[in-house]
């Protein structure tokens, strides 16, 4: 388990108000639902953070577990998803998962792979606990997005909240997953909602004690138009090279 001085423990210990924490990209859950099949499937989320995605899958009838190495994150999960307490929250090391071989029908993680200098070892452990024919969904930051430049500048001056991380192009991510022994099934890209500009403005406002809402208020018609545009924009494969985050869906060979 992570110590209190670990960057992620510090990060999650500062997230007392869950209504002020941005949710995961909906593309992850959308990809899982498209490929999982009927419930109940045994699903493991690694690096679960608040556990909202695990809770959403459990609400659909899947036997979903949230695993994290941070005690602070596990505490947030217990608060955000009390239905998981006692049966769906697990502390553990992503490189030494506390499960037998071929335990899960699906394994997924968002914003986790990029924090490891040994991603192949991490994915090998994912493969070990996945059943033959089972599903993997990996979601990471996309290399050619403006966010990458901001992140790298913050890392250079030791101001990045996570300490260190990298990013991937869609080709790099697909190659990495295939090299780990998986067969590719799908891929996707997603945008940052709210936008990068708004998030930066919100962080800047905090410095002058101005608390902007988590999301800018917008008329319903504008929100619906934005969602339709998001779907059209991200459908072509070329969009994987401009999206904020990218994901790969793959299966362990049967």
pLDDT at 4: 45
pLDDT at 65: 96
pLDDT at 227: 66
User: 25 or 37: which carries more pLDDT confidence?
Assistant: 37
Lowest-confidence pick of 14-28, 100-114, 207-221: 14-28
Homologous superfamily of the 7-194+239-251 domain (CATH): Vaccinia Virus protein VP39 (3.40.50.150)
User: 6 or 152: which carries more pLDDT confidence?
Assistant: 152
Which segments within the chain are labelled E, that is strand? Answer: 42-46, 63-68, 89-91, 104-110, 130-141, 183-190, 245-251
**Stated pTM of the model:** 0.86
User: Residue 196 above 70 pLDDT?
Assistant: no
Say if residues 2 and 71 touch (Cβ distance below 8 Å).
Answer: yes
- Listed by start position, the domains of the chain span 7-194+239-251
Most confident region among 14-23, 25-34, 137-146 by mean pLDDT: 137-146
The mean pLDDT value for 80-85 works out to 84
Say if residues 85 and 18 touch (Cβ distance below 8 Å).
Answer: no
Lowest-confidence pick of 98-112, 153-167, 204-218: 204-218
pLDDT at 223: 63
Structure-token match 């699906």, residue found:
106
User: Residue 84 above 80 pLDDT?
Assistant: yes
Environment class of residue 60 by beta-carbon count within 10 Å: exposed (0-12), middle (13-18) or buried (19+)? middle
Mean pLDDT computed over every residue of the chain: 86
pLDDT at 202: 76
pLDDT tens track for 57-75: 999 999 999 999 988 888 8
pLDDT at 213: 76
pLDDT grade, residue 20 (50/70/90)? low
Lowest-confidence pick of 21-30, 173-182, 222-231: 222-231
Residue of 142, 143, 160 lying closest to 151 (CA atoms): 160
- φ, ψ of residue 8 to 5 degrees: the values are -70, -35
pLDDT grade, residue 225 (50/70/90)? low
pLDDT at 103: 98
Structure-token match 């780990």, residue found:
180
């Amino acid at each position: 388990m992570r110590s209190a001085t670990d960057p992620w423990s510090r990060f999650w210990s500062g997230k007392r108000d869950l209504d002020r924490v941005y949710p995961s990209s909906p593309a992850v859950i959308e990809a899982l639902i498209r490929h999982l099949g009927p419930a109940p499937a045994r699903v493991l989320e690694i690096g679960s953070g608040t556990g909202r995605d695990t809770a959403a899958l459990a609400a659909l009838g899947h036997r979903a577990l949230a695993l994290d190495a941070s005690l602070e994150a596990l505490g947030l999960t217990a608060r955000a998803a009390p239905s998981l307490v006692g049966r769906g929250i697990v502390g553990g090391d992503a490189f030494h998962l506390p499960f037998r071989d071929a335990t899960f029908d699906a394994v997924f993680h968002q914003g986790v792979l990029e924090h490891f200098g040994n991603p192949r070892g991490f994915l090998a452990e994912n493969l070990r606990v996945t059943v033959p024919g089972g599903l993997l969904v990996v979601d990471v930051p996309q290399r050619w997005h403006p966010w990458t430049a901001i992140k790298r500048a913050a890392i250079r001056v030791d101001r990045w909240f996570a300490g260190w991380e990298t990013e991937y192009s869609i080709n790099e991510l697909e190659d990495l997953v295939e090299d780990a022994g998986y067969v590719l099934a799908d891929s996707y890209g997603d945008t940052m909602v709210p936008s990068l500009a708004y998030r930066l403005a919100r962080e800047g406002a905090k410095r002058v004690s101005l608390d902007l809402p988590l999301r800018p208020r917008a008329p319903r018609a504008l929100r619906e138009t934005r969602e339709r545009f998001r779907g059209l924009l991200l459908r072509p494969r070329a969009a994987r090279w401009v999206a904020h985050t990218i994901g790969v869906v793959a299966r362990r060979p049967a």
